[in-house]
Amino acid sequence: MASHCPRCAFHFNRVPGHWLGSWFLNVLVTQGVVVLILVVVGAATWPDVPVMAMTIGAGAAAVFVPLAFFPFARTIWVAIELAMRPLELDEGVAPGFELERDIASLRAEATTAGRDRGDATGR
Ligand SMILES: [Zn+2]
């Protein structure tokens, strides 16, 4: 996985231990799939439950689901972490055009306010 976003230079690994959350998501989804396989197959075939087939299927899911879900877990975790701890200005992320437009409008507003204040005090 790239360490930075190629477009805005957002650094994905923002704090030490950042990826523990994505590991948690991956384990959560994998365990969910394994339990789903066991419950659905067990309920569908009750009372003659194919224990060996269920064991092989659940074991295969326990190996392949985390591998397949790994990039999604990281991406989802980056989004969750960004929602929990919004970007700081000093993180070096290129703001893009929206912020430049906002800054221009703020500067125009400040210039207008300064001129108005100057008029009001008679300077
Ligand atoms: Zn980006």
Q: Tell me: the pLDDT tens digits for 52-110?
A: 999 999 999 999 999 999 999 999 999 999 999 988 878 878 766 567 777 788 889 88
Q: Which residues, including other chains, have CB under 8 Å from residue 91's CB and lie 6 or more apart? A: 10, 11, 14
96 — alpha (psi -120 to 50), left (phi > 0) or beta?
Answer: left
**If you measure from the C-alpha of residue 27 to the centroid of ligand 1, how many angstroms do you get, rounded to a whole number?**
27
**If you measure from the C-alpha of residue 98 to the centroid of ligand 1, how many angstroms do you get, rounded to a whole number?**
14
The angle subtended at Cα 104 by Cα 102 and Cα 108, nearest 5°, is 115
Ranges of each domain in the chain: 1-92, 97-123
Looking at per-residue pLDDT, the higher value among 39 and 113 belongs to: 39
**If you measure from the C-alpha of residue 32 to the centroid of ligand 1, how many angstroms do you get, rounded to a whole number?**
31
pLDDT in tens, 24-50: 999 999 999 999 999 999 999 999 999
Angstrom CA distances, 41 to 5, 31, 52, 59, 63, stand at 42, 15, 12, 14, 19
Given a cut of 70, whether residue 122 has pLDDT beyond it is no
**If you measure from the C-alpha of residue 1 to the centroid of ligand 1, how many angstroms do you get, rounded to a whole number?**
14
- Note the pLDDT of residue 113: 82
**If you measure from the C-alpha of residue 47 to the centroid of ligand 1, how many angstroms do you get, rounded to a whole number?**
53
**If you measure from the C-alpha of residue 9 to the centroid of ligand 1, how many angstroms do you get, rounded to a whole number?**
6
**If you measure from the C-alpha of residue 24 to the centroid of ligand 1, how many angstroms do you get, rounded to a whole number?**
24
Angstrom CA distances, 43 to 46, 54, 97, stand at 5, 12, 55
**If you measure from the C-alpha of residue 93 to the centroid of ligand 1, how many angstroms do you get, rounded to a whole number?**
8
pTM here? 0.68
